[in-house]
Amino acid sequence: MFYHIKELQYTAKPSKPDPVYAKKLQEILGGQYGEISVMMQYLFQGWNCRAEGKYRDMILDIATEEIAHVEMIATMIAQLLDNAPAHDQEQGAKDPVIEAVLGGMNPQHAIVNGLGAQPNDSVGYPWTARYTVASGNLLADFRANLNAESQGRLQAVRLYEMTTDPAVRDMLSFLIARDTMHQNQWLAAIEELEQSQGIVVPSTFNKEYEKQEVSYSFMNYSEGEESRAGRWASGPTLDGQSTFEYVQSPKAMGQKPKLEPGAKYIHGTPPLNFKLEQDSE
């Protein structure tokens, strides 16, 4: 059950309208790594979590906070659109510079959303549930969460650099700080799970069924050997089970593929040595 508190988690009120920046801010709302994505990802991870206790509780704690972040950004976008379209359109008719700036506004903010936010990214692509990960394996999910928070913080920082509005920057500074915490949170949870489960997902698969000859071989398929200098090319593996092997110019291990001609009803292209059957008449 969720309760709505009328106050925002943190202040989200711009110094002045800016419909062009409102379009940019849509990215961290409805983009692949936006707040809607992490909100839905964490909610379904929490609701689907079969490991009762601290992990489920923690996931739903952060999921609930992300609902607040969606509300903050949607509120900020709506206020960035306040009074802007009509006034700017009037001025744009008189001033070609203003008209050019107005051209960067998302017209759907006025036409479709009535000067409000939308669950789309900055170019209008609709948010999709395919952005989310909720696999049921907590280690796999927490790594996906770490990636989402890393990409989200990166985008928030870039948006911070794209505005001079101190109030917008203030809200973004809060979100950036929370992304710092969330990255640390997922790193801590990942470390804890790795200590009990190992670092390879899933840990429950029988290693006897794995082609272990190539389990720890780094295969260089590029010119040169610069990749040999990496931690992944030599020394003990991070799971503590083996040693990294560096393979320069690995050889093919499979057969040359050869497919049989398709059935006549497929009407595909026949082999080069195929002779078209002629009528006997």
95 annotated as ligand-binding: no
| DSSP for the chain, written as a single string | -----SS-SS----SS--HHHHHHHTHHHHSTTSHHHHHHHHHHHHHH--STTHHHHHHHHHHHHHHHHHHHHHHHHHHHTTTHHHHHHHHHHH-HHHHHHHTTS-HHHHHTTSS---SB-TTSPBP-GGG----S-HHHHHHHHHHHHHHHHHHHHHHHHT---HHHHHHHHHHHHHHHHHHHHHHHHHHHHHHHH-SSSPTTS-GGGS-GGGTTEEEE-SSSSGGGGSTTSSSB-TTSS-B-EEEESPPP-SPPP-PPPPPGGG--PPPTT--PPPP--
149 annotated as ligand-binding: yes
194 annotated as ligand-binding: no
136 annotated as ligand-binding: no
128, 131, 182: which is closest to 153 by C-alpha?
182
Please report the sign of the dihedral spanned by the C-alpha atoms of residue 171, residue 175, residue 181, residue 185.
Answer: positive
66 annotated as ligand-binding: yes
109 annotated as ligand-binding: no
34 annotated as ligand-binding: no
Name the one residue in this structure whose structure tokens are 């840990």: 203
Binding-site residue numbers for Mn(2+) are: 35, 66, 69, 149, 182
Binding-site residue numbers are: 35, 57, 61, 66, 69, 149, 182, 220, 222, 224
Binding-site residue numbers for Ca(2+) are: 57, 61, 220, 222, 224
